[in-house]
Structure formats: C-alpha cells, structure tokens
Amino acid sequence: MNRIISFVVCIILIQSVQAQTKSAVTSKPIIAAGKQISITLTPLKNCWVYLGSYYGKGRALVDSAYLNDKSVGVFKGNKLTGGVYFMVTPQMTPQFEFLMDNKQQFSIVGDTLQKDKSVITGSPDNDLFKEYLKYSSEKGRLMQEHEAAYHQSKTNADSSKYKNLIIQGDKELQAYRENIIKKYPASLLSMLFNTMKRPTVPSIPMVKGKPDSLYPYRFVKDHFWDDVVFNDDRLLRTPFFESKLDDYFKYYVSPEPDSLIDEVKFILLSARTGKEIYPYLLTKFTNKYISPEYMGQDKVFLYLFENFYAKGDTVLLNTASKKTITDRAYSLMANQLGLAASPLDLTDSTGKNVSLYNLKAPFTVVVFWDPNCGHCKEELPRLDSMYRAKWKAMGVAIYAVNIYENEMIAWKKFISEKGLLNWYHVYQTKSARAAEEKAGQPSYKQLYDVFKTPTLYLLDKDKRIIAKQLSIQQFDDLIATKLKH
C-alpha cells in the first residue's frame, strides 16, 4: 500500500483545481468547513502543489495549495472524503501517501528528496498508518529474502524451512492487521484492512464420506464482503476496492444474467445511501453491461434501466448520457434471448414481399449488412461457406437484410459475384420506412439493435431468439448442440 504507482492526470483537471484555488486566494477565501491541512514541502517554493487521491482504479487531483517562499502552504475548505491520499509536485510527480481521516486538522512536513521521511502531526489514523508501513516494510523485506532462499534451496529440508517462514510471515502480517481492527475498530485503517481482506478457507468438510469440493468456493463467496459496508464513500478512495469487486464478479459470480442481476441488485441497494459510491457503482455496472463481454448479459443493463434509471436515477446523468442510455435500452428490449423476434416484412430485389415469419425452417439466421461495409464483405462469404457446407442440408434459412437501400447496384452486384444463392435477400423501401415513421412505429434497426454491421441473430423454428452477435462457428456449434436435444 505504500508503493506509489505511475500517475497520469488530465491537464484539464489540473487547471481546474489550480484555477479554483487561485480564485479562492485572489478573491474570496474559502469558508472553512473542517479541513485545515498545513503542508511544508521542501525544497519547493513559490509554486502550487496538489492533493491527489485514489478513485476506483484511477487517480485524481482533488485540491491544491500554494507554497510560499518558506515552502509552507495550506489545504483548507470543505472536508474531503476519507481514504488514501498523496502529495503531488508541480511536475505531477506523486510523493508520499497518507490517510485522510475524519478530523482533517493536521500538519504535514516532507521533503521531495526523502519521500519516506514525511512527518504527519495531529492525526491518530496516520500514526497507526506510519507504524503499519514500518512493520509491513520490514516484514515484506524478510519475506522476500525467504522467497529468494526458497527458490535457491538445494535440499528438501531447506525448501520446507523457507516455505514455513514465508507462511509464518504472512500469518504475522495478517495478525497485525487483525489486531489493529480489534483495537481500533472505528479507525480508517481498520476500514482499509477490512476491505483488503480475502476469506481464508477452513478445512474442507466430508459429506457422505467424500470431501465437499465446492465448499471452498461457497465459503469464499459467502464471506467475501464480510465487514465491508457498500455505502461507505471511502471505499472509492482506496487502491484495492474496485479490483476486489472485479475479482468477485470474475471468479465467484456465475456469468448467467439472472445471477449477475442478483449480485448487482444487492450491491446497489446496499450502496444506495452513499453520496459518491452509489452513482459510481451504478455507472460502473451500466458501462460493463451496456455492451457486455458475453451474449445475453445485456439483460443486466436492461434491469438497471428499468429498476434504477427509469425510476428517477437519470438525475445522475447529463442530457447526452441520458439519451444514450434510454436509446440503448429501447434498442435492447425487443431482442432479448428467448423472446420472439420482431416481425420483418421486407422487399427482395424483384420487388416481392418476403416475411420472416413465413419462412419454414428449423433455424433461421438473420443478418443485417451493408454492401459498403468492409467487414461485411469478409464475413458474408464465410457465412455462405458454412451454409453450403452444413446448414443448407439441415434446412437452415438465411434472411439477409441490406440496411442501405441507396446502394441497390452494389448490393445486387455483391450477391451475384459471391454467389450468395438460396438466401432471402431483402431491404426496406423508402416508402415503407416513411409509412413506418408516420405511424410512429420503431424501426427494425431499433428492434434488432443494429448499430454496427454485420449484426447476426439465430432464431429457432418458432422465430424465438436463440443467440445474437456470436461468431459463425459459435452459431454452428449452437445449432449442433440444439439438434442433439
């Protein structure tokens, strides 16, 4: 925790913080509301220095102070959210870390040439933090030595010796943290240690004479968030909360949408009263599932829209973000897995109407494409190769929609040159689109979430959506699996 990682900050944010502080100095002073942190940072003089903090997985500048010709300045004004903070020089170089406790009335004396020699006075939390850093640094050095000796061991006895020393050192470090938590439960450092903790799995129990192999997973999952309070805004100002959250979803939560929804719901409702962390988590989950990694997880985004944004949480958004989220939600509502596909009654190249629901096939692949799209020109021949090699014999139908009706010549030429025979090639006429708009009906692009090309769907015999946005090979694997059942 005492290791300072590389720090990159947006110049706009820097200028904003500096401008706000300059304004406070040259016009009206900031009304003190609890924060009064004096800073002496030699050898810097007559310059601005900054307060930085962790923020999720990133870092941010949160305040600035001007150092006089004696290297002295002060950060004052409204209290900051508690957490792990650090000093930053005018060159944007991070210095030493310290804790921003609830008191926020203390002094710091430091030297940019001796980062580890900073002295903080008037902050009990930082006294605890300093002692912990001293202990953990020494313990870490010894454990590194034992680790090196372990890898260089030439006998089993030596290997066993150093392995035990490493295990013992880790136990002592954990015991130190637990002692702080026990003695100072209300301290910021205890909150940090509780957030850092990962459950230690006890002995695996026997069930009907056999070890319960799933017990470690269940135990860790059930105790992963012990002593962590999700509405505590200070969680954001640590370097490890969001990484822990990501690990939890990666290793202990099923990727199945309903399981994800249960977890997201619990965390957001628990964090609801957090002024900073609630909107942060809502935004994090929204960004993660608005364009998810795995098929079907956009159902989580729809849950967020229907149960949070649609019930008033759009106040957290600016106008552009509100529109993006709302439009995206309406584009996904009609094409969730298991739903009946929206009807498509489009026109083929001869002017004949071709209805999607009139196609009789055990499976139908619907592909939306653009004859000017380079990726489409690569993927459609691959799709045809799979169709000719396997799907045609299975009775699979391909309903291909040209989304760009102004390119009729290029559309027909590509179909002819690539020999895309036995497909249903269709497009929407301008008159049909105009009638649709006049009637206030959603377009097929919205109903099928066509915001890129090619966009592919796999439908069953009843035209229910089985899959979407998978590779051609994944579609083939899924068809094979379905045929076995």
Going through 79-209 in order, the beta strands assigned E by DSSP cover 83-88, 94-100, 105-111, 114-121, 206-207
Residue with tokens 């009638």: 435
The predicted pLDDT at position 33 comes to 56
What pLDDT digit, counting tens, does each position of 9-42 carry? Answer: 332 233 333 333 333 333 333 334 589 999 999 9
Residue 202 domain-assigned (yes or no): no
Residue 365 binned pLDDT confidence (cut-offs 50, 70, 90): very high
The predicted pLDDT at position 39 comes to 97
Residue 406 binned pLDDT confidence (cut-offs 50, 70, 90): confident
Residue type, 259: S
What is the DSSP annotation of 354-372?
Answer: EEGGG---S-EEEEEE-TT
Do 95 and 176 have their domain in common? Answer: no
Do 479 and 349 have their domain in common? Answer: yes
Q: What residues make up the domain containing 81?
A: 11-122
Number of domains in the chain: 4
Do 259 and 354 have their domain in common? Answer: no
Q: What is the 3-state secondary structure of 396-430?
A: CEEEEEECCCCCHHHHHHHHHHHCCCCCEEEECCH
The predicted pLDDT at position 1 comes to 37
More confident residue, 15 or 204: 204
Do 43 and 113 have their domain in common? Answer: yes
Do 372 and 451 have their domain in common? Answer: yes
Residue 392 domain-assigned (yes or no): yes
Residue 74, H or E segment: strand 72-78
Taking CA atoms, 386 is separated from 381, 392, 395, 457, in Å, by: 9, 9, 13, 15
The predicted pLDDT at position 95 comes to 95
pTM for the whole structure: 0.83
| pLDDT at residue 79 greater than cutoff 80 | yes
The predicted pLDDT at position 284 comes to 96
Find the range with the poorest average confidence among 11-20, 47-56, 247-256, 346-355: 11-20
| pLDDT at residue 7 greater than cutoff 80 | no
Do 51 and 182 have their domain in common? Answer: no
What pLDDT digit, counting tens, does each position of 82-117 carry? Answer: 999 999 999 999 999 999 998 899 999 999 999 989
Do 68 and 142 have their domain in common? Answer: no
Do 82 and 166 have their domain in common? Answer: no
Do 328 and 415 have their domain in common? Answer: no
Do 474 and 349 have their domain in common? Answer: yes
Q: Which of 196, 226, 253 is the last residue of a domain?
A: 196
Average pLDDT, the chain: 90
What pLDDT digit, counting tens, does each position of 121-134 carry? Answer: 999 999 999 999 99
Query: Token pair for residue 412?
Result: 């027909």
The whole-angstrom separation of Cα 292 and Cα 301 is 9
